[in-house]
Amino acid sequence: MKLPICELCASSGTLCSGCSAKLADGRLTELDVKISALLYKMKDKYNLNDADFTKAIDLGRVVLVLTKGDVGKLIGREGKVVAEISQEVGKKVRIAEMSGDVRKTISDIIMPAKLLGINEVFSMAGTSYKVRLPSSELSHLPIDLNSLEKALYSLLDSKVSIVFE
Ligand SMILES: [Zn+2]
């Protein structure tokens, strides 16, 4: 089972120094920890040993759960796994595949706002992303700008700035 926190942390419910550091700098969120612990607890009951949970993103009314593996695993037979996640976080949950295609993943997240384009910016500090949206789309974002930038940062492990054109 692949989780954003280590197996020891998922089983014990307390975070080791490595996972705590990730939580502190925003690469990991409380929501990721909560869902990881839940999936770990459910792994035998729902046969989740080869499931992959990459990251959860809180989009306000909906929580987006991203997987690099099989989407069906996290939905579960008759939707039982996704139903338990939904109950745990107290919100609707949507499972989506996180492909290598950053553009597609970001499009999924900012829905129903439309994406104009993404630029990768290389600098001494590392790679960052400039996510470009038409200014008419500002009101269509699922969450506020600041939260969205944070969510994208934790997702891409790189600084993200959202610009309206
Ligand atoms: Zn850990």
For the sheet containing 62-67, what is the strand order? Answer: 55-58, 62-67, 92-97
pLDDT value, residue 2: 96
Centre of ligand 1 to C-alpha 135, Å, is: 41
Residue 1 lies in a domain: no
Centre of ligand 1 to C-alpha 65, Å, is: 20
CA 28 and chain centroid, separation? 9
Of 73-77, 99-103, 119-123, which range is least confident? Answer: 99-103
Residue 160 has, within 13 A of its CA and on its CB side, a CA count of 25
* Residues, the chain: 165
Q: Within this chain, do residues 44 and 111 fall inside the same structural domain, yes or no?
A: no
- 111-160 pLDDT, tens per residue? 888 999 999 999 888 889 999 999 998 888 878 888 888 778 877 778 88
Whole-number Å distance between alpha carbons of 140 and 31: 24
Centre of ligand 1 to C-alpha 7, Å, is: 7
Q: Which of 104, 112, 92 is nearest to 156 (CA)?
A: 104
Q: Which of 105, 102, 98 is nearest to 68 (CA)?
A: 98
Percentage of residues in the chain with pLDDT exceeding 70?
A: 100
Name the domain boundary from 50, 73, 97: 97
Centre of ligand 1 to C-alpha 75, Å, is: 25
Q: pTM for the whole thing?
A: 0.77
Centre of ligand 1 to C-alpha 33, Å, is: 10
pLDDT value, residue 38: 97
pLDDT value, residue 18: 97
Q: Reply yes or no on whether the pLDDT at 3 is more than 80.
A: yes
Residue 109 structural domain? 102-164
Q: Within this chain, do residues 109 and 91 fall inside the same structural domain, yes or no?
A: no
Centre of ligand 1 to C-alpha 74, Å, is: 22
Q: Using an 8 Å Cβ cutoff, are 55 and 26 in contact? A: no
Q: Within this chain, do residues 11 and 64 fall inside the same structural domain, yes or no?
A: yes
Q: Using an 8 Å Cβ cutoff, are 58 and 76 in contact? A: no
- 28-55 pLDDT, tens per residue? 999 999 999 999 999 999 999 999 999 9
Provide the pLDDT confidence category of residue 83 given band limits of 50, 70 and 90: very high
Amino acid at the residue 97:
E
Residues with CB under 5 Å of ion ligand 1 are 6, 9, 16, 19
Q: Within this chain, do residues 12 and 41 fall inside the same structural domain, yes or no?
A: yes
Q: Using an 8 Å Cβ cutoff, are 51 and 24 in contact? A: no
